């Protein structure tokens, strides 16, 4: 199979590309390398005989003429993400995410099969207004509580993309699957998300250890499970035209307990200092995976403690020697084959 991974140098994109190559597929990675240009993991993939790495600004319509045609699967993961990026420059978020999605739709050919990455942020307004139940199904109303709030820029850009792919792809004879990611985490995620952010502060010896929004609840999904769900959806004809959650509904944890888990696994015991949650942060988030199960038979395979441990191991190693750590984790963490065996089962 030939796969085109747009945004393939990003967090989920590089995990996906690695998994596809492991299974014997040919992969083209396209990215503007706003992150990952000097990444040793990506450098190792460049030497693989079945991978091609292209640099392109996907917001430029002219850049698309240089991309390979005839791929069996196309994944759009390129986007500006992260709370800090969204709050610092919401206009950039809207511009990049919207233009990239619309240019891809113009570029698609009849018969193409494409995955569009969306987000659980589309539910944040409804959860806070208590009009959306948790666990949350795909058919609940989505609400933008305040269009002027910078944090909603990301959700707005993704909702536009969802509508564009569901309607336009079908009209052009393409099969589009929309996946709404819920709190995906894992090695090589960066430093802005809660699990790696806590991990890095713990490893650096912060004391007292600050815990923002300890009373909030999340259901975290390890990136290996997210990739497995994506691949299953793209292999399922009935998923075409559907919006489907990707996450883990088998474990929910509050942020206070997550902090204690991170501290235990990093082997430190600082004093805790509880801090109010950041403005705009939703109180609770958990997907209902009923639709994903019905379509694909997917079940989460990575328990939270196991996934957090593998993530901590990667960040611990990266603090000592980043190139060695990235190269090692680019292929597999010690439990990856066991995880995949559970997923296949």
Maximum Cα–Cα distance across the chain: 59
- Looking at residue 280, its pLDDT comes to 76
Would you say 298 and 289 are in contact if contact means Cβ atoms under 8 Å apart? yes
Residue 292 lies in a domain: yes
Closest CA to 285 of 168, 180, 201, 154: 180
User: How many of the other CB atoms lie within 10 Å of CB of 312?
Assistant: 23
Instruction: Identify the three-state secondary structure at position 65.
Output: helix
Residue 37 lies in a domain: yes
Q: CATH code at 167? A: 3.40.50.720
Residues of the chain under the 50 pLDDT cut: 321-345
pLDDT of residue 341: 47
Q: Which domain holds residue 235?
A: 2-183+221-248+287-301+322-344
Write down the pLDDT at residue 50: 97
Domain membership of residue 178 (yes or no) is yes
As a whole number of angstroms, the distance between CA 208 and CA 205 comes to 9
Place of tokens 């706003």: 34
What are the φ and ψ backbone dihedral angles of 138, each rounded to 5 degrees? Answer: -70, -20
Side-chain-side CA neighbours of residue 113 (13 Å): 16
Rg (CA), the chain: 19
The answer to whether the CB of 67 falls within 8 A of the CB of 2 is no
Asked, for residue 296, whether it belongs to a domain, the answer is yes
Residue 129 counted as domain residue:
yes
Tell me if 165 is assigned to some domain.
yes
Question: 309 in a domain, yes or no?
Answer: no
Amino acid 193: pLDDT: 92
What is the DSSP code (8-state) at residue 269?
-
Could you tell me if residue 238 is inside a domain? yes
Owner of token pair 């959860």? 127
Coil vs helix vs strand at 31: strand
| Helix segments in the chain, DSSP class H | 11-22, 40-46, 83-88, 90-107, 124-128, 152-164, 170-171, 194-203, 223-234, 255-266, 290-296, 304-320, 322-331, 336-344
0.75 surpassed by pTM = yes
Number of domains in the chain: 1
Q: What angle do CA 2, 7, 11 make, to 5 degrees?
A: 110
């Amino acid at each position: 199979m030939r796969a085109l991974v747009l945004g393939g140098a990003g967090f989920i994109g590089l995990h996906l590309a690695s998994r596809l190559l492991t299974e014997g597929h040919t992969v083209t990675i396209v990215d503007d390398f706003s992150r990952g240009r000097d990444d040793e993991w990506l450098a190792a993939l460049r030497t693989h005989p079945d991978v091609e790495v292209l640099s392109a600004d996907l917001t430029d319509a002219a850049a698309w003429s240089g991309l390979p045609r005839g791929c069996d699967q196309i994944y759009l993961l390129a986007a500006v993400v992260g709370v800090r990026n969204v709050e610092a420059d919401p206009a950039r978020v809207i511009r990049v995410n919207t233009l990239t999605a619309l240019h891809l739709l113009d570029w698609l050919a009849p018969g193409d099969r494409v995955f569009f990455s969306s987000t659980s942020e589309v539910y944040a307004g409804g959860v806070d207004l208590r009009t959306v139940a948790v666990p949350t199904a795909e058919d609940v109303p989505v609400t933008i509580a305040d269009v002027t709030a910078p944090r909603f820029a990301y959700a707005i850009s993704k909702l536009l993309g969802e509508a564009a792919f569901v309607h336009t792809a079908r009209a052009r004879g393409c099969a589009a699957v929309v996946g709404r990611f819920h709190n995906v985490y894992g090695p090589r995620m960066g430093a802005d998300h809660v699990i790696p952010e806590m991990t890095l502060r713990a490893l650096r010896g912060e004391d007292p250890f600050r815990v923002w929004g300890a009373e909030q609840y999340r259901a975290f999904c390890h990136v290996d499970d997210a990739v497995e769900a994506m691949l299953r959806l793209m292999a399922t004809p009935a998923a075409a035209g559907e919006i489907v959650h990707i996450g883990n509904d088998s474990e929910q944890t509050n942020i206070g307990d997550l902090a204690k888990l991170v501290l235990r696994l990093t082997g430190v015991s600082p004093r805790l200092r509880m801090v109010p949650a950041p403005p705009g942060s939703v109180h609770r988030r958990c997907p209902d995976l009923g639709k994903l199960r019905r379509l694909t038979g997917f079940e989460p395979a990575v328990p939270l403690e196991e996934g957090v441990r593998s993530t901590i191991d990667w960040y611990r190693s990266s603090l000592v020697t980043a190139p060695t750590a990235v190269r090692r984790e680019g292929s597999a963490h010690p439990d990856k084959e066991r995880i995949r065996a559970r997923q296949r089962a």
